[in-house]
């Protein structure tokens, strides 16, 4: 299937990656995945890519915990360009991207975050929302910039916080919303 060529970056299980690949397989998304790249060698997202017949690549991130070493970031740019990627989709990618990536794909890198940004950027946003006594949280698709969850907002989906919510129960409902919203946003890019 032809269409917008996307590259998916992830560090974990890959539930959003699976949702995107399922929508592509069902022909409800005008896109194709050129490559799935992980910064964790045994990340589940790589197995999901293989299951769907998509090239899966592990790129060692280097020694930094929250970003890529410069050489690793250049290798990432090369891998995405080599796969003909037009839109970079972060799906649980736990590293801050810097100028090599941001320069190579200006306004063409998107991320999904489990809160209604600008509230609760960073890690475990659902726990932050619960601790703050919020009544509503959700997820946000946004452009990636050099900051942490600070790029322009593209779309949001609200998720109510229920009186008996725990961090795992709230996170599970936010993930359901993410798996609906992210493919919808990618479809808008395809159009």
Could you tell me if 72 and 101 are in contact, meaning their C-beta atoms sit under 8 angstroms apart? no
Q: What is the pLDDT of residue 1?
A: 46
> ω before 118 within 30° of 0 (cis)?
yes
Which residues, listed in sequence order, are joined to residue 90 by a DSSP beta bridge? 9, 111
Per the structure, the count of domains in the chain is 1
Q: What is the pLDDT of residue 155?
A: 98
Q: pTM value?
A: 0.95
Query: Which residues lie below 8 Å from residue 51, measured CB to CB, with a gap of 6+?
Result: none
For residue 54, which of 87, 110, 8, 2 has the smallest C-alpha distance?
8
Q: Reply yes or no on whether 113 is catalytic.
A: yes
Residue in 74, 107, 113, 142 annotated catalytic: 113
Could you tell me if 113 and 150 are in contact, meaning their C-beta atoms sit under 8 angstroms apart? no
pLDDT tens string 70-122: 999 999 999 999 999 999 999 999 999 999 999 999 999 999 999 999 999 99
pLDDT tens string 109-162: 999 999 999 999 999 999 999 999 999 999 999 999 999 999 999 999 999 999
Residue 27: pLDDT band by 50, 70, 90 thresholds?
confident
> CATH code at 183?
3.40.50.170
Domain with 129, as residue range(s), is: 4-190
Q: What is the pLDDT of residue 2?
A: 65
């Amino acid at each position: 299937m032809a269409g917008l060529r996307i590259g998916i970056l992830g560090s974990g299980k890959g539930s959003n990656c699976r949702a995107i690949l399922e929508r592509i397989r069902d022909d409800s998304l005008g896109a194709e995945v050129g490559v799935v790249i992980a910064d964790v060698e045994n990340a589940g997202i790589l197995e999901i890519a293989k299951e769907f017949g998509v090239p899966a690549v592990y790129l060692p991130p280097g020694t930094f915990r929250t970003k890529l070493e410069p050489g690793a970031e250049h290798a990432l740019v090369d891998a995405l360009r080599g796969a003909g990627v037009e839109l970079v989709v972060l799906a649980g990618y736990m590293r801050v991207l810097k100028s090599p990536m941001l320069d190579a794909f200006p306004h063409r890198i998107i991320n999904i975050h489990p809160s209604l940004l600008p509230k609760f950027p960073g890690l475990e946003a659902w726990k932050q929302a619960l601790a703050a006594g919020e009544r509503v949280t959700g997820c946000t698709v946004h452009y990636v910039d050099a900051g942490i969850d600070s790029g322009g907002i593209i779309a949001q989906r609200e998720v109510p916080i229920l009186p008996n919510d725990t961090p795992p129960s709230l996170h599970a409902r936010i993930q359901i919303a993410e798996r609906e919203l992210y493919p919808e946003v990618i479809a808008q890019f395809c159009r």
